[in-house]
Structure 1
């Protein structure tokens, strides 16, 4: 027995040692479990908060880019982000407020609790959040539950999102229960497995965050950064100039705005697939012509931005030239070479502007100057400053101009050179602006095109012309009216039906209406333009090619169009008395029209000598200040009723 007791005594220390080791193992395991639990839980909350931030940016981006988003579309978009198959948050509250817009949705929380929760969040913001921050967020504990909240205030929209936390508590609780009844090895294995699972889950969340971040800040078509990313880059750059003394302040940089010249025609004529292919090709060409320091963005349909830090004006000029050459390279689409061209404007920081918003406006103004002057590229100047402000004002006044019919037609007579009698008039759009007076199309046609209302404007002009024909017809006047129609207007599939319906309503013969298109516009899409014009001609409406001689058209498409009139551009009238080359072009146009059973109208005649020269060359009709300037409907009505040859010596009496 003694031996046995001694053995027992020998075993008891080892048992105590084993029990101590087990206790230590349990203690260490408990520590690891607790640490793992807290680490994973905190990390889960942080990643959830980051995910919520990215989701709110995506929602804010969708609302800002599409202000016309309906409540139903907004509900559908919110459900896609927060309530799809893989994410089912138990509690959700989203509110979007704008200047004239308010929408909200609530799920899984009573209205009373929601009010208390929002009050608690507002108190937290007042105590801890920097009020200058446009996107504050945080975690709020309410009724024993954790809620994540995110606020966003960009532009005119304020967005509030609140969701209930779904961190790793359930998963880790499950692990704790199993580890509490297992051996030391199982404890360590479970801890390792828990950490691995935690790491895997966090990795998935990070991947989701990355995907959301890319979705919110990158263009899906070209894979280029978008406007949100541009705002971030420019904000970071501008912040450098107020950085700490230990950091070198930002010195200079140039912002380029690139707008494709004929993208809308390609997109509407060949389809959106062709337009997408063109944009991808242009994006690749632009990316190949910038440095590693420069960043290329796509911020809208056919508009790209290049930000070039540490770049002076002279260096930027070379960059603009290289980008223009890249955009001018033709692209193969549908077995056709398409050359859209581009207009580029750039502004320099800090000599032109020292904040991002102004820099962007100035670069856009320079781009508009390049497009208007067909310069290719342009750098911002002090002259552009006033022009940009004027342009922004006119763009804001467009809606009122349409509603109040401030855009009216003036009429310039076309005469028979043989006897000076009026054979028709050309209707020329003039904006009678209440502040800036009478503006020519040079000041507003580009704005109308950019606003997407060019087809509406085409109908607007046609309606005015037909109503004037009706008024004249009631007075016994049967003088045709010619109007300029943009090629974009011809993309309106119901334009012909609209025109014929108006002619029928006013009992006007289609032959009294004449459509003029600029020669260079026709040559962009020969087949499509020919088809549309042929339909108008078949309906009895007369056709004319305006500004003939300024484009790069061929005789073949002129013969296919078979128009009634070819209008020689006014530039050929300048110095026609001495310039034999211009007279040769005029003579060729006259012979061309005769061969196709058409007539020639010479524009821009300002002297009797010019009229006599082209008359002797065989030109039948003329138009210009020598005969009469554009005038109001009332003035031209009196002139037509006088039925006297032009120039009319008493024409000045009609200007009273």
Structure 2
């Protein structure tokens, strides 16, 4: 698909989301809107005036004068053209314009159309304020200005209907909507001037969670009130302090303030060194400060806020707790967000996702006993996406559930296909931490196995230590149900996570996979050799079969085999490969063994 087509589709979806977020579609008539359409009809001497909202396939009238219908098809509607730019759209004679000759309006006898687009602050076209007439006519410059002014009043009414005030009710501080208006006002008065936005996160996420547990909603109110009272004098009368998040404050530094970002950052940190009283409990702030520079008039208010948010997120991860806006970081976050949004489509597409398979080799005989299924994603626009870029992000969302089901279903289908060819290979598949939090996880997995017709013992599920350690008791129940049905359980990446030995005594697992981080330096690191050898001995004492990951050298292979490690996988033996390549590789290995 061509990039400009993709952009158009994505922009249309963003526009529709903005329209629906306003909660105006299919709502009851409103006097505040009807007054504006009556005024438009009167001032522009038009029998019909409407406030028309452009949905996916229709034009819906929030307000109307001189017409009884509430909606018309979007196809060939002039309003669809009017939202394409920020100019007044005028058609003197619909029947003379090839775009609208067969339109419902022209067929109903309408000749003249004039529409002013209704744009959100983010630039999304919602619809129009339009007037129509049965006469062929034009609209002079004065009429165009009247229509433009009335459209501005409509948008003000829409925003007023959607936003309850400009002040945070709990703290009394101006909120982000007031900040948006102030950025626009500054741009009108100082267009082209340099400005900066500064945002402070008062406490860490852990502190915030603890405060909420102890004090509830009053924690946030007390924290913001205390911090704002301490910080306000530092900005003088020329800058407002805005409450833009649960524990986030923002300030605009403009030509009027004469304040520099580094000086203000130092001043804020100094002012927040002492604890703040929150309902009698002293809370020591741990401020993170993010800043962004911008040119007034060049950046939409929401983009200013977005850059400030990106900067403060970077600051919270920084050792110095300070950060300036970084476009590269924002692009990375935007890409990650886009991939998360696109992954659901990938799950449903049938042609973007696939499994590659890395053989697992018995170290004493060199036989291939099975393979690990590894998800691969080829994005239609971005091409191959590295698993490390999308899998950890997906595992933190609700998409973890359908992702695991896709992997297990695909793995079972491949096992069945191989068995039909006479290949009897056990398949291991990775499962995310969130899956063990799902109460019906074990039942769903076993249902997939039953529907596939594959023997349960041909499937092995791999869980990381961190997944099990989240809730060992619940994990043990889920794993026991799966293991009892015959599906094997493996602890993946052992040694890289919590390495809590107590849960190894109780889990219904049969395989322990040693993390590749300990395998790469076996030849040169005496410490790694001691650790791996000890893990193998301990695992055997507990009844586990041991698999080593990341074997890349013959010396490592021989050491592991000597220490009794049963299986291994790594580039020394074979890289991950598609199913057809693995079949060819197996035939080659079998042929070599026979010779």
2:505 matched to which residue of 1? Answer: 559
Secondary structure at the residue paired with 1:415? strand
1:381 matched to which residue of 2? Answer: 326
Residue 244 (structure 2) aligned to one of 297, 317, 321? 297
Alignment partner of 1:427 is 2:378: no
Contact 2:30 2:63 in 1 (8 A): no
Total equivalences in the alignment: 464
Residue 312 (structure 1) aligned to one of 241, 248, 261? 261
Deviation at 1:312, TM superposition (A): 3.3
Contact 2:194 2:294 in 1 (8 A): no
Structure number with larger C-alpha Rg: 1
Deviation at 1:463, TM superposition (A): 1.5
Taking a change above 3 Å as real, the CA distance of residues 449 and 623 of structure 1, as seen in their structure-2 partners, is closer
Deviation at 1:106, TM superposition (A): 7.5
2:448 matched to which residue of 1? Answer: 502
Deviation at 1:627, TM superposition (A): 1.3
User: TM-score scaled by structure 2?
Assistant: 0.61
Distance of 1:160 and 1:571 partners within structure 2: 60
- Structure 1 window deviating more from structure 2 (603-612 vs 276-285): it is 276-285
Taking a change above 3 Å as real, the CA distance of residues 462 and 353 of structure 1, as seen in their structure-2 partners, is farther
Residue 485 (structure 1) aligned to one of 431, 450, 464? 431
Secondary structure at the residue paired with 1:600? strand
Distance of 1:224 and 1:464 partners within structure 2: 55
Taking a change above 3 Å as real, the CA distance of residues 390 and 554 of structure 1, as seen in their structure-2 partners, is closer
2:346 matched to which residue of 1? Answer: 401
Taking a change above 3 Å as real, the CA distance of residues 223 and 315 of structure 1, as seen in their structure-2 partners, is closer
Distance of 1:433 and 1:537 partners within structure 2: 35
Deviation at 1:65, TM superposition (A): 7.1
Alignment partner of 1:412 is 2:358: yes
Any residues of structure 2 matched to 1:493-532 within 5 Å, and which?
A: 493-532=439-478
Contact 2:265 2:289 in 1 (8 A): no
Taking a change above 3 Å as real, the CA distance of residues 460 and 233 of structure 1, as seen in their structure-2 partners, is same
User: TM-score scaled by structure 1?
Assistant: 0.56
The alignment yields a C-alpha RMSD, in angstroms, of: 5.6
- Structure 1 window deviating more from structure 2 (250-259 vs 96-105): it is 250-259
Greater fraction of residues in helix:
1
What do residues 219-264 of structure 1 show as CA deviations (whole Å, max 9, x unaligned)? 99x98999xx42541442354254259xx966322357999999xx
Distance of 2:19 and 2:452 partners within structure 1: 40
Secondary structure at the residue paired with 1:619? coil
Residue 126 (structure 2) aligned to one of 147, 151, 158? 158
What do residues 518-575 of structure 1 show as CA deviations (whole Å, max 9, x unaligned)? 2223322333333333332233222122221122252222323231222111111232
Secondary structure at the residue paired with 2:359? strand
2:5 matched to which residue of 1? Answer: none
Contact 2:441 2:478 in 1 (8 A): no
Secondary structure at the residue paired with 2:433? coil
Secondary structure at the residue paired with 2:189? coil
Secondary structure at the residue paired with 2:502? helix
Distance of 2:387 and 2:316 partners within structure 1: 15
Distance of 1:492 and 1:276 partners within structure 2: 24
Contact 2:442 2:479 in 1 (8 A): no
2:562 matched to which residue of 1? Answer: 616
Deviation at 1:577, TM superposition (A): 2.3
Secondary structure at the residue paired with 2:505? helix
Unaligned runs of 5+ in 2: 1-15, 39-49, 72-85, 89-115, 130-159, 233-239, 254-259, 276-285
Distance of 2:264 and 2:432 partners within structure 1: 37
Secondary structure at the residue paired with 2:448? helix
Contact 1:572 1:586 in 2 (8 A): yes
Distance of 1:432 and 1:96 partners within structure 2: 37
1:98 matched to which residue of 2? Answer: 55
2:197 matched to which residue of 1? Answer: 253
1:580 matched to which residue of 2? Answer: 526
Deviation at 1:451, TM superposition (A): 7.0
Taking a change above 3 Å as real, the CA distance of residues 437 and 542 of structure 1, as seen in their structure-2 partners, is same
Deviation at 1:638, TM superposition (A): 2.1
Secondary structure at the residue paired with 1:560? coil
Contact 2:373 2:411 in 1 (8 A): yes
Unaligned runs of 5+ in 1: 1-62, 84-88, 116-129, 133-149, 162-210, 267-273, 327-341, 651-656
What do residues 254-294 of structure 1 show as CA deviations (whole Å, max 9, x unaligned)? 357999999xxx9xxxxxxx999999599579847785565
Taking a change above 3 Å as real, the CA distance of residues 545 and 381 of structure 1, as seen in their structure-2 partners, is same
Secondary structure at the residue paired with 2:355? strand
Secondary structure at the residue paired with 1:511? helix
Secondary structure at the residue paired with 2:454? coil
Distance of 2:477 and 2:124 partners within structure 1: 45
Deviation at 1:599, TM superposition (A): 1.7
Distance of 1:526 and 1:513 partners within structure 2: 22
Any residues of structure 2 matched to 1:314-329 within 5 Å, and which?
A: none
Residue 350 (structure 1) aligned to one of 275, 294, 297? 294
Residue 243 (structure 1) aligned to one of 186, 189, 192? 189
2:404 matched to which residue of 1? Answer: 458
Any residues of structure 2 matched to 1:159-308 within 5 Å, and which?
A: 215=164, 229-237=175-183, 239-243=185-189, 251-255=195-199, 287=224, 291-292=231-232, 295-298=242-245, 307-308=250-251
Deviation at 1:460, TM superposition (A): 1.5
Secondary structure at the residue paired with 1:551? coil
Deviation at 1:385, TM superposition (A): 5.8
Distance of 1:373 and 1:429 partners within structure 2: 32
Contact 1:256 1:346 in 2 (8 A): yes
